[in-house]
């Protein structure tokens, strides 16, 4: 990757590594402000995947021939690099299809083997549906109790009643960064309090791993879920990071090839972790792509990426806050990363997004799979501009100009 050779980080050079950002839509330059939904992919990721398919494509963990062994090595090396980038050991990283699959793995395997009627799981009102619905399914099936940490009108977790909520809880599940508010939650502090109450902690890192530089160990959680496509990687690959003994003690979630040590008609014995949780042919090219994405972030410098993005989010937050008739959701920009959601007086978020699309500005509108959070904030929907380090200040100009056009068009 060229950035690795660059002595000094350049945001403009980073941007050039993303081929899609050079295209036009409706005859206008693409302004991509929906990275919280999925990030764009750098050339290094596209090339790593294409190279795998062109030179090494074979199934893994089973071939005795060279290219199968090479594919296995590439897949397991990707696991090592991805785990290391999050301060974890490769044996603690189970590859899944995405963050949703990782939460479901915990709910199905850990949840169904450990939770019985009346057991308590604590979640927050800020969760993405991916960390709500699997627990709702379990509640309907097992009769567990779910309690919620409320959100303040400013978009922070209200921790004033935390100890009471945690009393008797078996698990606390919370998002590290809100996909609607950008709020960075004080996960380490909350995890310590949950552990003191005897609960395990699941952290949803879908929005934090792409934007913040941290070690999962420092969060003090037991389960951490991530999704590759928001961190410059391809779709179809995510992960669950969990303590080794915890994974060892959990039953398999899905059964099939590769997750077994031995199968007889009378029964099966499981493979060791993480393979015990990776039944069937895994997303090989996708894991390799995510490994390349992690290398890309590291060669650009995680701190450089964070700094570039922080400046963009600060500016977007400031300018949107000054717009008449615009209500920005969530905390000040010092407490948030990666995105700014807002509502405009007199114009539905879907209409805002549709007007912006005419200028090739891509934002998401709706409840962003966080319906309870929108309800808590007293809005049906919002528009959301989200960033990665490949965005540039002129993207914010285009966003603001689009909002002015929307206001003129709707006469508000």
Binder of ligand 7TS out of 40, 109, 207, 341 (CB under 6 A): 207
Would you say 11 or 82 has its CB closer to ligand 7TS? 82
Asked if 36 interacts with ligand 7TS (CB under 6 A), we say: yes
Rounded Cα gap, residues 304 and 143, in angstroms: 47
Q: Which range in 79-87, 297-305, 341-349, 364-372 contacts ligand 7TS by CB under 6 A?
A: 364-372
Please report how close the Cβ of residue 286 comes to ligand 7TS at its closest, in angstroms.
12
Asked if 37 interacts with ligand 7TS (CB under 6 A), we say: yes
Q: Which tokens is 251 given?
A: 């039953």
Residue 324 backbone phi and psi in degrees, to 5: -60, 140
Rounded Cα gap, residues 260 and 278, in angstroms: 10
Q: Are the beta carbons of 184 and 203 closer than 8 angstroms?
A: no
Asked if 99 interacts with ligand 7TS (CB under 6 A), we say: yes
Rounded Cα gap, residues 322 and 324, in angstroms: 6
How far is Cα of residue 60 from the mean position of the Cα atoms in its chain? Answer: 27
Would you say 56 or 108 has its CB closer to ligand 7TS? 108
Identify the DSSP state of 53. I
What would the DSSP string read from start to end of 303-366?
A: HHHHHHHHHHHHHHHHHHHHSTTEEEESS-GGGB-SEEEEEETTB-HHHHHHHHHHTTEE-EEE
Nearest of 297, 295, 296, 290 to residue 236 by alpha carbon: 290
Active site residue 369: yes
Q: Which range in 18-26, 56-64, 256-264, 363-371 contacts ligand 7TS by CB under 6 A?
A: 363-371
Q: Are the beta carbons of 250 and 38 closer than 8 angstroms?
A: no
Would you say 97 or 274 has its CB closer to ligand 7TS? 97
Please report how close the Cβ of residue 338 comes to ligand 7TS at its closest, in angstroms.
10
Q: Name residues contacting ligand 7TS, limited to 222-251 (CB under 6 A).
A: 227, 238
Asked if 185 interacts with ligand 7TS (CB under 6 A), we say: no
Please report how close the Cβ of residue 9 comes to ligand 7TS at its closest, in angstroms.
27
Q: Which range in 108-116, 143-151, 200-208, 253-261 contacts ligand 7TS by CB under 6 A?
A: 200-208
Asked if 100 interacts with ligand 7TS (CB under 6 A), we say: yes
Binder of ligand 7TS out of 15, 128, 193, 374 (CB under 6 A): 128
Q: Is 383 helix (H, G, I), strand (E, B) or coil?
A: strand
Strands 238-242 and 145-149: unpaired
Q: Name residues contacting ligand 7TS, limited to 282-321 (CB under 6 A).
A: none
Which are the catalytic amino acids? 369
The residues of the shown chain that bind ligand 7TS, judged by CB under 6 A, are 36-37, 98-100, 128, 130, 175, 179, 204, 206-207, 227, 238, 364, 368-369
């Amino acid at each position: 990757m060229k950035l690795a050779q660059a002595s000094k980080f350049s945001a403009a050079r980073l941007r050039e590594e993303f081929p899609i950002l050079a295209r036009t839509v409706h005859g206008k330059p693409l302004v991509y402000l929906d990275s919280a939904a999925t990030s764009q992919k750098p050339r290094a990721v596209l090339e790593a995947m294409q190279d795998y398919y062109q030179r090494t494509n074979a199934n893994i963990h089973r071939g005795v021939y060279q290219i199968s062994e090479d594919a296995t090595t590439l897949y397991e090396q990707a696991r090592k690099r991805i785990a290391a980038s999050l301060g974890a050991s490769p044996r603690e990283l189970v590859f899944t299809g995405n963050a949703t699959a990782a939460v479901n793995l915990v709910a199905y395997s850990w949840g169904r083997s450990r939770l019985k009627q009346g057991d308590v799981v604590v979640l927050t009102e800020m969760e993405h549906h991916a960390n709500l619905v699997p627990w709702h399914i379990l509640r309907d099936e097992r009769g567990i109790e779910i309690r919620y940490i409320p959100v303040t009108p400013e978009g922070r977790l209200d921790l004033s009643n935390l100890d009471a909520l945690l009393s008797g809880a078996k698990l606390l599940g919370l998002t590290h960064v809100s996909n609607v508010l950008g709020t960075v939650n004080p996960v380490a502090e909350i995890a310590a309090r949950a552990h003191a109450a005897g609960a395990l902690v699941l952290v949803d890192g879908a929005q934090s791993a792409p934007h913040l530089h941290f070690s999962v160990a420092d969060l003090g959680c037991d389960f951490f879920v991530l999704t590759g496509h928001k961190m410059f990687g391809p779709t179809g690959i995510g992960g669950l990071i969990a303590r080794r003994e915890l994974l060892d003690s959990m039953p398999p979630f899905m059964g099939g090839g590769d997750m077994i040590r031995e199968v007889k008609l009378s029964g099966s014995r499981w493979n060791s972790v993480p393979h015990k949780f990776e039944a069937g042919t895994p997303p090989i090219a996708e894991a390799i792509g995510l490994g390349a994405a992690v290398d890309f972030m590291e060669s650009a410098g995680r701190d450089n990426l964070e700094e570039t993005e922080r400046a963009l989010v600060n500016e977007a937050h400031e300018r949107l806050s000054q717009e008449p008739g615009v209500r920005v959701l969530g905390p000040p920009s010092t407490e948030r990363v990666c995105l700014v959601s807002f509502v405009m007086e007199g114009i539905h978020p879907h209409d805002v997004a549709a007007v912006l699309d005419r200028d090739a500005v891509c934002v998401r509108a709706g409840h962003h799979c966080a319906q309870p959070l929108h309800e808590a904030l007293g809005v049906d929907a919002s528009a959301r501009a989200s960033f990665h380090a490949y965005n540039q200040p002129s993207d914010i100009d285009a966003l603001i100009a689009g909002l002015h056009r929307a206001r003129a068009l709707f006469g508000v």
